[in-house]
Amino acid sequence: MSQPQVSNETAAAIADAAAFFLGALTTDQRAQAAFQFMSEERWNWHYVPWPRNGVPRGDMDDSQRAAAESLMASGLSANGLKKARAIIEHELILGRLETGDGTIRFDRDPGLYFFTVYGEPGSQGPWGWRIDGHHLSLNYTFIDGDVVSVTPSFFGANPAEVKTGPSKGLRVLREEEDAARVLFQSLDRDQRRRAVIYPDVPPDIITRASRTVEIAQPLGVPADALSAQQRELLMTLIRVYVERKPGDVAARALERIEAEGLEKVHFAWAGSEHRGQKHYYRIHGPSFFAEYDNTQNMANHIHSVWRDTEADFGLDSLREHYEQQHS
């Protein structure tokens, strides 16, 4: 079973936030939000603007929205929460831009972020929660009072850089883009030859919204072929992803990467090294997988995701949990 990723205190705080959220809902809203833990809905995550199950922010009153916000905050660091809030509010910017261009295809509404809870918060049995909407998907799984999975964890931004209007210059996912570019630009010719894995930039992340990561073979340049300074740049990039989560989640994730061996982590790239041009990268280790693309909308539309190659949705921990129960 995967090691618990958070302290008991943090896990209890998240459980309290989930229970408080459910308690703030009406009977009808709870029926929308609450699912059995093994419901197929738990796997039904995505980052595109399509209809979802759950209770949307837009249908909540102020007190309910505050409870929902507290639940989201309980599972994120201050920086992660800032990004998540910005992604939600980014829908207003995207809506204005698409209306002005005459290209609007979807309802760009910060109210269309949906909250669901699976099982009973705080119970010793498995339970979890999800926040899902355009460019944001947060998934938590708990077993025996411990958090065993915080992935898939998706953050996106369109536009990646706001180029007009009162928010001109805003880059919600600046770190995700810039830290990777600094690392790639530090590579020498041979390292770049190993790092570049595709002749053309893929149109989206390869894993999409899959239930599990199905890329078995790490590609790119391994960390043991990097200099000490480049390995630190790689760790800086990894921290961008894991430090979206609470401090103890991030610390446990970093400890696991180090225990498995940083030298086994591969960094891969495709596309241009220059800002404003299409590019893609991934970081692939024994259990850690992060993927990013900025290819759509004239290379001004970012997708970024952190996955666990063994334990998205707590699958490995669930398997062991049920085997022990059966025994």
pLDDT digits (tens, 9 = 90+) for 228-269: 999 999 999 999 999 999 999 999 999 999 999 999 999 999
Number of domains comprising the chain: 2
Q: Residue 179 falls within a domain, yes or no?
A: yes
Q: Residue 194 falls within a domain, yes or no?
A: yes
- The Cα 231–Cα 268 span in angstroms is 14
- Write out the residue range of the structural domain in which residue 82 sits: 8-151
Distances (CA, A) of 284 to 5, 25, 186, 227, 266: 19, 40, 19, 18, 5
* Residue 158 near residue 90 (C-beta atoms within 8 A): yes
Same domain membership, residue 140 and residue 24: yes
Query: What pLDDT does residue 5 have?
Result: 46
Query: What pLDDT does residue 4 have?
Result: 40
The CA angle 60-64-65, to the nearest 5 degrees, is 70
Q: Residue 285 falls within a domain, yes or no?
A: yes
Same domain membership, residue 140 and residue 28: yes
Q: Residue 59 falls within a domain, yes or no?
A: yes
CA 238: distance to chain centroid?
13
Q: Residue 57 falls within a domain, yes or no?
A: yes
Q: Residue 159 falls within a domain, yes or no?
A: no
Query: What pLDDT does residue 325 have?
Result: 64
Same domain membership, residue 145 and residue 179: no
Same domain membership, residue 145 and residue 193: no
Give the residues of the chain that fall short of pLDDT 50: 1-5
Per-residue tokens: 304: 């970024």
